[in-house]
Amino acid sequence: MFDSLSDRLGGVFDRLRGRGALTEADVRTAMREVRVALLEADVALPVARQFVDKVTEEAVGQNVLRSVTPGQQVIKIVNDALVEMLGADASELELAVTPPAVVMMVGLQGSGKTTTTAKIAKRLSSGGAGRDRKKVLMASLDVNRPAAQEQLATLGTQIEVATLPIVAGQQPVDIARRALQAAKLQGYDVLMLDTAGRLHVDQALMDEMKAVAEIATPQEILLVVDSLTGQDAVNVAQNFSDQVPLTGVVLTRMDGDARGGAALSMRAVTGKPIKFAGTGEKMDALEAFHPSRVAGRILGMGDVVSLVERAAESIQQEDAERMTARLAKGQFDMNDLRGQLAQMRRMGGLGALAGMMPGMKKAQGALAQAGGDKVLIHMDAMIGSMTVKERSKPELINAKRKIRIAKGSGTTVQEVNKLLKMHQEMSTAMKKIKKMGGLKGMMAMLGKGGMGGLGNALGGQGLGDMMEKAGGGLPKGLPGLGGGQDGMPKLPPGFENILKKK
């Protein structure tokens, strides 16, 4: 979503970085370009103006102009200002009240309220990433849209969360009363109320929403906003916050090609935090919104913390333990490689991973040219075309076998060769892991054998080198990862045993 803004800002900062010393005029010229980039990205004018004025004031200070790396200093100031503009800290839902905690969803028609209600309910009821599991009840108050209540009931069945039984002809305020009573009697922790979508001008619906809010006294009133609405999203937020006391915002369709201005303006206009971002159609495509991480992605600094979190969520415990045992012996065959490729796909594919690695923005473009995530599917098909024996002993694969594998997987012999070369590089790195000594060796392997080898296989030597440099430049002591004494982050569950088995 932030690609065009990211590219524009990247260009401005590359020019600043290239200079040994900065004059005030250089900074002001750069800030003018930043302002244009923000306005092009659909950021509200007052917000863009305030942002640029603040950054210029700090960047023109003596300590920046006279510092050893003035370009880097300016980028840091812009990064800090972006984090502040998006809201300094990530904020979860406030549900620490006497049950049931009521969460009310409001927003315009078609902004994705019903789906988002189900996504949040799934997040709360599954209790991932160290959160407590909640017993959740969903209720649809949307009596205007045909089959809206049935839609929520269907989603409830899909995610295994209870929904309030539908009573035909009942009005929203009565449904809210019934839902509250049911939640109290049946001991639910959280009650999610999905209200009817409104149009700006529809005062009757606004009054109905206020009446529901008075009866249900929700702890959280979340405004669901479609990121694709751009500038108008700000007016929507203003209208709703005038009517009910909003506590947070959820942005949907963050994976779309909107320009990102809605997200940047939303916090400044409503004064309320963005709590979640919807990143896809599936029920688990909902992320907590971390301002510092989003700012890092916009400025091309990567988001390693989210990357490791995503890895921890998608790694299966048994796979990790099996892999650990094999790594301890320095073994790595085609089945292991297939497991690694499947894991990458579960984590969102190569494009998503590249976007989170520091300095990988350029590599992302090269990956897209090389075929992006299709490459992972092709590799899987090639491994699928091998016999059981070939997978466990890739050195058996001769010219004849390569032709058979290529035909069986609908690929070329060159692609099979690339896959074998990649396996060989990763296998060599795995054998070195014991000698390298544990965790540091693992991270070095990710930087060199893993990322570089993957890059070589996908787009030739150039991309391999680029990915190797980027992967090798992981920052030390990452926040929120409990870095060890050597500043390296902890690995996902199941990998810790590598440390013990030298």
- pTM more than 0.95: no
Predicted local confidence at residue 118, as pLDDT: 94
Predicted local confidence at residue 121, as pLDDT: 92
**Long-range contacts of 43-46, Cβ-Cβ distance < 8 Å, separation of 24 or more:** 43/261, 43/264, 43/265, 44/231, 44/234, 44/261, 44/265, 44/268, 44/269
SS3 category, 420: helix
Per the structure block, which two tokens stand in for 63? Answer: 């300590």
Residue pair 2/260 in contact (Cβ under 8 Å)? The answer is: yes
DSSP state, 143? -
Place of tokens 């088995």: 501
Q: How far is CA 439 from CA 77, 362, 490, in A?
A: 33, 28, 8
Strands 190-194 and 274-278: unpaired
What is the distance between the alpha carbons of residues 479 and 95, in angstroms, rounded to a whole number?
Answer: 26
Which pLDDT tens digits describe the chain residue by residue (502 residues)?
Answer: 677 777 778 778 777 777 767 778 888 888 888 888 888 887 888 888 988 998 888 877 766 666 667 777 777 788 888 888 887 666 778 888 888 899 999 988 888 899 999 999 998 988 765 567 889 999 999 988 888 899 999 999 999 999 999 988 899 999 999 999 999 999 999 999 999 887 766 788 888 889 999 999 999 999 998 877 767 777 788 888 888 888 998 988 877 766 667 777 777 777 888 899 888 888 888 888 888 777 777 776 654 555 555 565 555 666 666 666 776 666 778 888 887 777 777 766 666 666 555 555 555 566 566 666 678 888 889 999 999 999 888 889 999 999 999 999 999 999 899 888 888 887 777 776 655 554 444 544 444 444 445 455 445 555 555 555 544 443 333 333 333 334 333 434 443 443 343 3
Predicted local confidence at residue 487, as pLDDT: 39
Residue pair 2/297 in contact (Cβ under 8 Å)? The answer is: yes
What is the distance between the alpha carbons of residues 142 and 438, in angstroms, rounded to a whole number?
Answer: 56
Residue type (1 letter), 39: L
R_g (Cα) of the chain, nearest Å? 26
